[in-house]
Amino acid sequence: MMQVDQTSRGSFPEDISVRVVTYTAGREPEIAEVSASRAASATGKISSVVGSRIARLGGSVPERAVSEVVENLIHARYAGVVVSIMENGERVRVADRGPGITDKARAVEFGFSGASREAMGEIRGIGAGLGIALAEMKKVGGTLVIEDNLGGGTVVTLSALAGDRGEEVAPQRLEKSVSAEVEPKRHLGKVPDIDISERQERTLITVLECGEVGPSTIAEVVDVSVSTAYRDLSVLEDHGLATSTESGKRVISPLGRDYAAAIIKTWVK
C-alpha cells in the first residue's frame, strides 16, 4: 500500500502472484492464484477475478473501488498479497506484507502519493487511488477502513454491509487503523469554475503530488517542453492555484488543492 518513505526502494518482482480467496457459508474456501508479469496488467487481472466473484455472489462492493485498492499494491511491491471476498461479496479485504501506511488519515487525501518514478511508469501515480475507492464505497453507503496487518503490511477493507456503515474505530486502535472520512475544504467558499486546459489540469495535479516543482519536473512528468511547462505553471499561478517559493518553484495553494480534488472527484461520477 501507500508509503511515501519506502516506495523508491527495491525493485518490482518479475512475476506478480496474488491469492484471491472466496469464503462462502457451508463450503470450503475457493482459492485462485492470479499471476501477471507487470503491475499495469496485474490491476486489471486481479480486479476482474474479484469483480466476477462479487457479481456471482450478488455482492455490492464496486469493482472500481476494488481496482483502485489493488492498484495501490504496487507500493507494497505485491508482497504477500491476499484478497479475501466475504459475506456474499459485501465485504472485500485486501492484505499485503509491504512497508505499511504510516499516516492512514492522509492516505485517502486526493494528491497524497507515494509513487516513485519507477512506479509512475506503471500506474497513474496522482495520489487518488484510495480517495476514489472511498468515494465509490460511499456511493453504495459503504465504508473503507485501513489497518496495520499483523506482522507488517496493510489491510484495506471495503464493506457494503449495513452493520459496518458509520462504524467508528475504537480509541485503543487509533494508531493502528482509521475509518476514512472525506477531507474538509481548505479554503473558504465554493470552488470556482476556472478555465484551464486538460494539460494544465495535469500540471496542477503534478504540483499537488510533488509538493514543490519547477518547469523541468513538469516537463518530464506531463511530457511537454520546458517552455510549455513554464507557461502552464504561470497560468496556474495567475489563477491562484499555485504560488511561487523563494527558490522560484511552485507549490499548490489552498484553492489549487480543492480545485484538484474537484477534478479528481469527477472521475468517479
Query: Which residue from 142, 134, 138, 133 is spatially nearest to 160, judged by alpha carbons?
Result: 142
Yes or no: say if 142 and 54 are a contact pair by the CB < 8 Å rule.
no
pLDDT of the residue at 258: 85
Domains of the chain (ranges, CATH numbers): 16-179 (3.30.565.60), 198-268 (1.10.10.10)
What does pLDDT average to over the chain?
78
pLDDT digits (tens, 9 = 90+) for 16-49: 999 999 999 888 999 999 998 887 788 889 999 9
Q: What confidence category does residue 9 fall into, taking pLDDT thresholds of 50, 70 and 90?
A: very low
Provide mean pLDDT across the span 59-67. Answer: 92
Which residue matches cell numbers 507494497? 76
Instruction: Say if pTM beats, i.e. exceeds, 0.85.
Output: no
What digits encode the pLDDT tens for the residues 141-165? 999 999 999 888 999 999 998 766 5
- In whole angstroms, what is the distance from residue 79 CA to residue 99 CA? 9
The cell numbers describing 176, all together, are 493502528
Quickly state the pLDDT bin for 87 (edges 50, 70, 90).
very high
- pLDDT at residue 210 is higher than 90: no
d(C-alpha 243, C-alpha 229), whole Å: 15
Which amino acid is residue 265, in one-letter code?
A: K
- Reduced to 3 states (helix: H, G, I; strand: E, B; else coil), residue 17 is strand
Higher pLDDT, 149 or 263: 149
- 11-25, 85-99, 120-134 — which is least confidently predicted? 120-134
Helix (H) or strand (E) holding 82: strand 82-86
